[in-house]
Amino acid sequence: MSKTNPEHKQPEPLLEAKNTKSKGEKTFDRAVYVGMAGVGTFFATLYMAFKLKHGGWAGPRYQRAVEWTQRNLGRFLSPQTSEKVAEEAVMTTALMMGGNAMILPIGAAEHYKVPIVSGLNVMIGDKTPPEAIEQAPKQTWWSLIEGRLVAWGAVFSALMTARFAVPDTFKLFPKEVGQRTHQFVQWLRKEPMLGETAMKKTKAFRYGEIGAFDVFATAAAATILYIGGHFFARKQAEKKSGNVAEGKRHGLPLMRSDAEAEPVIQAGAVTAVTGDKAHHGTLTARAVEQHLS
């Protein structure tokens, strides 16, 4: 004789995915992607690009890199175009060095994101459980590298577009920023302004010239690193989920997460009665349904 249990309900998932981020996670994102990837990268890039272009790290090698790139591009492009593309390719690479260096602290922060965000939530008073943070796709070293590669392409494309679309502005803008930077530094030092030829050789002018591009390159790269990196991290998570689903389809032995595992009724909690014998043991919810139906 079959029995039905009208009160039986499908087991609810242990944890529902949150549609909104916790306050701690928002604070984490601002600190990492505005602080490290933004402000930190800007100053790191300013210093490193200066060293690569004008300082002791590369010096003449910077120009040789431009010439080498130009020679190789000359096989496919006109001399004038290959020169412009080579200059922007090497300049873009120099502008990316600061962000490449910041990948290390950003990657470390992402690795410890769960305990960091959990601690921030406790400090702020957000009651989001750590399990909710665990559910979100995690940035990995590879997703961050992929984000940087996409950022390089975006910055290079933007510089090339500006060079060809507004060539006069493209030349005058860094020069004017360099002049203003020189004037500001001279004003702080209470020293007279230098002539144009001497001014272009000063560190203040060269830092300003690099900074004119750096501010846009860093803003674009930080945005793309956040969006692109999380996009690639999500794709990696989906790929892993697809591999798990494929393994299940082929009957491979797989470990299931707590959220996926079928609810189990512990031994002694249910007694299955067949005839005059009682069988104590561990039953799944599906087994109970089949037994009672």
Q: What is the pLDDT of residues 162-182, one digit of tens each?
A: 888 888 888 899 999 999 999
**What does the alpha-carbon distance between residue 293 and residue 51 come to, in Å, rounded to a whole number?**
77
Q: 120 or 227, which is more confident? A: 120
The Cα–Cα gap between 212 and 100 comes to 19
Of residues 157, 156, 167, 175, the one with CA closest to residue 80: 167
Structure confidence at residue 241 (pLDDT): 67
Task: Tell which wins on pLDDT, 281 or 61.
Answer: 61
Residues whose CB is less than 8 angstroms from the CB of residue 136 and which lie 6 or more positions away in sequence, other chains included:
25
- pLDDT tens readout for residues 89-107: 998 998 888 888 999 999 8
One-letter identity of residue 211: G
Nearest to residue 154, comparing CAs of 162, 143, 164? 162
Section 150-168 average pLDDT: 87
Those residues whose C-beta lies under 8 Å from the C-beta of residue 183, and which sit 6 or more positions away, are 193
Q: Which of 2-16, 74-88, 216-230 has the highest mean pLDDT?
A: 74-88
The per-residue pLDDT for range 36-92, each reduced to its tens digit, is 988 998 999 999 988 888 877 676 888 888 999 999 888 888 888 888 899 889 989
- Percent of the chain's residues with pLDDT above 70: 72
- The one-letter amino acid code at 224 reads I
State how far the Cα of 155 lies from the Cα of 190, in Å rounded to an integer: 37
CA distances to 170, 262, 263 from 286, rounded to whole Å, are 68, 8, 9
Which tens digit of pLDDT belongs to each residue from 125-150?
A: 888 887 777 777 677 888 888 888 88
pTM, 2 dp: 0.64
